[in-house]
């Protein structure tokens, strides 16, 4: 374990997911931070004793909890599994953070809202999840607030990157084999580049902020899934070769919020952030 007084030791749980991989990609840009990565195999957060053992003899200053059950459709069929990871697992991490005086940075979701609002959601707005995934994530948030004083809960939305399974990669893949795509217009949110979120989190640690609480982070602007697909195809030069159709009736097993755009003023003002528009961020990821 690096015990240099100038080093900030950071544990990243759920490191096999897309956000964890995005954090890993830029770790060398933060020489003050020593990052330790644990995936679901090396650290099962649903086992309290495993979490405690993992922290033993290690002095983590921060934990970035990226570990989550994220299959929204499957969560309706097996809510116990979603709650085990997203609520009880988070409780375990929070309790060990409290015992070891570690600051927790936890990733949450726009799905804690019901989507009935028609203006961007603020952090203090009423939460009312309409699916099991959202309910499990909100339960995790509540555990953190009950157990810890030193925490950052960062809600994000429509996360995508070059890693893992996400809408961005699915559209690119389908554009190579299919002539026609039908995409829903029934939901409005903000696509968020996980690379931008990763940078925000590591910047947050590096500046040593004590402005704890809940924060909303996504790229700027708003879109439907149709808008997002259209922009992916446009930037990749495939828009003219594929017939893109709209539908306002795309059946899913899980209910989803119709509107989940975030108000990001608190986040921008608290950390002096310069967040870019989702279209610009998409262009950057495609160029890279």
Q: What is the pLDDT of residues 49-72, one digit of tens each?
A: 999 999 987 899 999 999 999 999
Sheet holding 62-65, edge to edge: 33-38, 8-13, 62-65, 103-109, 151-156, 213-216
From 69, 121, 133, 259, the catalytic residue: 133
CA 143, 192, 274, 203 dihedral sign is: positive
Burial 168-207 (b: 16+ CB within 10 A, else e): bbebeeebeeeeebebbeebbbbbbbbbbbbbbbbebbee
> What is the per-residue pLDDT across 168-220, written as a single tens digit (0 to 9) for each?
999 999 999 999 999 999 999 999 999 999 999 999 999 998 999 999 999 99
Mean pLDDT across the chain: 95
pLDDT of residue 3: 47
Separation CA 63–CA 267 (nearest Å) = 20
**What does each of the 288 residues of the chain score in pLDDT, given as a tens digit?**
444 557 999 999 999 999 999 999 999 999 999 999 999 999 999 999 999 999 987 899 999 999 999 999 999 999 999 999 999 999 999 999 999 999 999 999 999 999 999 999 999 999 999 999 999 999 999 999 999 999 999 999 999 999 999 999 999 999 999 999 999 999 999 999 999 999 999 999 999 989 999 999 999 999 999 999 999 999 999 999 999 999 987 778 899 999 999 999 999 999 999 999 999 999 999 998
CA-based nearest residue to 11, from 213, 270, 271, 201:
201
Q: How much is the pLDDT for 128?
A: 98
Q: Which residue has the tokens 């996360």?
A: 159
Helices 278-287 and 194-207, packing angle to 10 deg: 100
What backbone phi and psi angles, to 5 degrees, belong to 69?
-90, 115
Q: What pLDDT sits at residue 252?
A: 86
Tokens describing residue 41: 């195999």
pTM of the predicted protein model:
0.96
133 catalytic? Reply is: yes
Could you give the maximum distance between any two Cα atoms of the chain, in Å? 58
Tokens 């997911």: give the residue. 17
Res 28: pLDDT: 97
Phi and psi torsions of 152, nearest 5°: -125, 115
Residue with tokens 């899980």: 254
């Amino acid at each position: 374990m690096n015990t240099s007084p100038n080093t900030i030791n950071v544990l990243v749980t759920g490191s096999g997911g897309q956000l964890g991989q995005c954090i890993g990609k830029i770790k060398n840009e933060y020489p003050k931070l020593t990052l330790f990565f644990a995936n679901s195999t090396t650290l099962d957060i649903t086992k309290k004793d495993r979490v405690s053992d993992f922290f033993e003899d290690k002095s983590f200053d921060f934990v970035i909890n990226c570990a989550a059950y994220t299959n929204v459709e499957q969560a309706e069929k097996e809510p116990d599994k979603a709650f085990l990871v997203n609520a009880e697992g988070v409780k375990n991490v929070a309790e060990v953070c409290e015992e070891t005086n570690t600051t927790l940075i936890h990733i949450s979701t726009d799905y804690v809202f019901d989507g009935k609002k028609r203006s961007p959601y603020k952090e203090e707005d009423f939460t009312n999840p309409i699916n099991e995934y959202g309910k499990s994530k909100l339960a995790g948030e509540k555990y953190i607030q009950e157990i810890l004083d030193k925490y950052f809960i960062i809600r994000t939305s429509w996360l995508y990157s070059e890693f893992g399974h996400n809408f961005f990669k699915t559209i690119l893949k389908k554009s190579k084999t299919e002539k026609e795509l039908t995409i829903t217009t029934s939901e409005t949110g903000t696509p968020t580049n996980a690379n931008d979120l990763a940078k925000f989190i590591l910047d947050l640690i590096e500046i040593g902020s004590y402005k704890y609480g809940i924060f909303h982070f996504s790229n700027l602007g708003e879109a439907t899934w149709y808008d997002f697909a259209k922009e992916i195809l446009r930037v990749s030069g495939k828009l003219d070769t594929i017939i893109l159709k709209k539908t306002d009736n795309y059946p899913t097993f899980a209910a989803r919020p119709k509107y989940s755009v975030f108000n990001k003023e608190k986040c921008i003002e608290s950390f002096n952030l310069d967040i870019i528009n989702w279209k610009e961020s998409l262009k950057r990821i495609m160029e890279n």
